[in-house]
Every structure is written in C-alpha cells, then in structure tokens.
Amino acid sequence: MTSVPLQPEQSLPTDWRDLFALTKPRVMSLVVFTGLCGLLAAPGTVHPVLGFAAVLCIALGAGAAGALNQWYEADLDAKMKRTASRPLPAGRMTRQTALHFGVGLAVFSVILMDLAANHLAAAILAASILFYVLVYTVWLKRRTAQNIVIGGAAGAFPPLIGWAAATGDISTLSVLLFAIIFLWTPPHFWALSLFVRTDYANAGVPMLPVVAGIESTRRHVLLYTLPMIAAAIAPWVLGLTGLVYGAASIALNAIFLVLAFGVFANKATESREMGPEKRLFAFSILYLFGLFAALVVDRWVFA
C-alpha cells in the first residue's frame, strides 16, 4: 500500500501542547489561586476531594474561557507581537478545533462542578465563562475603552465560586473578594496597556491609552486605585477578618498606592522609559497573591 502525502495545515492532528496553550495557563494560575483562597477562607470545612474537584473545575472553566477568547480573537492576536505566536494566529490549529475544545471544556467544567459541589457554584461558574466570552470578548473589548472596567468582573468570579462551592451560599466577605479583584483589574491592565499601547493601537483595540491618551490613563490608574484600596481594607474594617489580614492589607495597599503615584507622576511616552508602569504591573500580580494569601492565613489563625 502506498502512503498518500498529507497536507499538514489541513489534516495534521493538533498537538496537545497547543490545546494546553489555548487555556492560557499563566492567567489560570492566578484564577486557581484566588478560587482556592475563596474556598479556604469560607467558614466550615470542605472535604479535600470535593475541594480539589471544585478548584479543578474553576481551572477548567477558566481554561475554556481562555480557549473561546482565543477562538474569537484570532485576527486580533495575529496583529499583536505579544500574542502572534499563539496556536491560532501561528496557524498550528484550526478555529473549529479551538471552538470545539473551548465549548466542550466549558460544559464539562460546569457539569463536574455541579456533581462535586453544588448548583450555585456551577451556576456562577457558567455565568463567569459566559460573561468573559460574550460580554467582555465579543461585546466590549473592540467597542469601548471601558472594556477592562466592566470585563474585570469575569476575572473576579473565582473566589465567589470557591466560597459558593464550600458553603452553598454567598456572604458579605465573598462579595468583597469579588469587589477587590473587580476594582484591581483596571489599574492592573491599564499599567500593562500603557507600555504595550502600540500593539493595541496596531490591532485596533480601543484600550484607554489608545483612545484617551497616556496622561489620562495615568490619572485613571491612580483614581481607580483608591476604590480598590477601600475594598481591600473593608474586610478588616468591617470586622470580617483579623489583624493578620488588616496589617498585610495596609502594607500591600500602601505600596500599591506609592507605585500608582509613580505612574501618575511619570511623563515618559516611550515604552522603554515606562519603568513605573512596569513596576506597578509586576507588583499588582504579587499584590493579589499576597492579599489572598493573607486572608487565608488570617482565617485559619483566627478560626
């Protein structure tokens, strides 16, 4: 039997590593961490297996949302240096494969969450995937400079899901955890968008620095930092957490505020001179890890 040469672009099976890359593993790590913290900070105890399954579902749901985001944004990703090597714009995968993978993973994660935890956690997980894909990716991202402000809600769901998986309901503290990430998203992404704004401008994405300018974005970073700080300190002020969280929160927020002032005061217009923006972006990730870690330590210390 003679073998027929194959056409790689049309018939080669997608490499599993590319399917994994489609889930945005680095973004997933923060999502998993905040979801885990929501679960661990919730009152009561969770069976370790059910807790593990719930966190796994959060990770799979986030991966599904990431895959569907890349399926929809393949044309945008191809225009940006930062994303041009992703599986779809690089031509290593068909869009149909990405769509099937994303939808399948989303459905699987929601069903598994329902089986392992409860209806509420599954419903919030489904809502968060739909919000990220339909509201942020499809509706807002290409239309308004406020895309990050509203779309930030999508990334804020994990602690709420973790909490709901552990308790079966939603409480004031879980809503505050949602609010912290929701209000943290604008300064975090605007700091990034300042030093990669050329990429966004070339791709036609109406990020704030592209639409309103660099100076206005820097002012927005500082302004949006203030409600974020209020939300981050609120759990301690309201007596929902103890001194460990209170002290960590004050310290982390003080550093965030200083760095946000640094961004506000910076007059540079070239990306290579945007040290304060890069520092704020890098610290903002550490900030969220630190804040949520402090919450868990605090809840365990004072439990």
Partner 1 sequence: MPQPEDEIFRKRQRERAKVTAILLGLFVVLMFAITIAKMTVNQ
Positions touching partner 1 (CB under 8 A) are 3, 5-8, 11-16, 47-50, 53, 56, 115-116
What is the smallest separation between the CB atom of 297 and partner 1, expressed in angstroms?
Answer: 26
Residue 228, Cβ neighbours under 10 Å: how many?
A: 25
Least Å from the CB of residue 28 to partner 1 = 16
The helix (H) or strand (E) run that includes residue 5 is none
Nearer to partner 1, 116 or 296 (CB): 116
SS3 content of the chain, % helix, strand, coil (to 5): 80, 0, 20
* Per-position DSSP letters for 160-196, written without gaps between them: HHHHHHHHSS--HHHHHHHHHHHHHHHHHHHHHHHHT
Q: Which is nearer to partner 1, 3 or 96 (CB)?
A: 3
The answer to whether 57 and 112 are in contact (CB under 8 A) is yes
Cα 181 versus chain centre, distance: 9
What is d(CA 153, CA 160) in angstroms, rounded to the nearest whole number? 11
d(CA 172, CA 175): 5
Name all contacts of 41-45 with Cβ < 8 Å and 24+ positions apart: 41/159, 41/163, 41/173, 41/177, 41/295, 41/296, 41/299, 42/162, 42/163, 42/166, 42/167, 42/174, 43/167, 44/166, 44/167
Least separation in angstroms between CB 102 and partner 1:
16
- Of the pair 6, 272, the CB lying nearest partner 1 is at 6
CB of 301 to partner 1, least distance (A): 26
Q: How far is the CB of 55 from partner 1 (least distance, A)?
A: 12
- Using the minimum distance from each CB to partner 1, give the nearer residue, 2 or 272: 2
Q: Whose Cβ is closer to partner 1: residue 47's or residue 119's?
A: 47
125 in Cβ contact with 61 (< 8 Å): yes
Nearest distance from C-beta of residue 152 to partner 1, angstroms: 31
Which residue's CB is nearer to partner 1, number 16 or number 267?
16
**Please, what is the minimum distance in Å from the beta carbon of residue 7 to partner 1?**
8
Smaller CB distance to partner 1: residue 9 or 270? 9
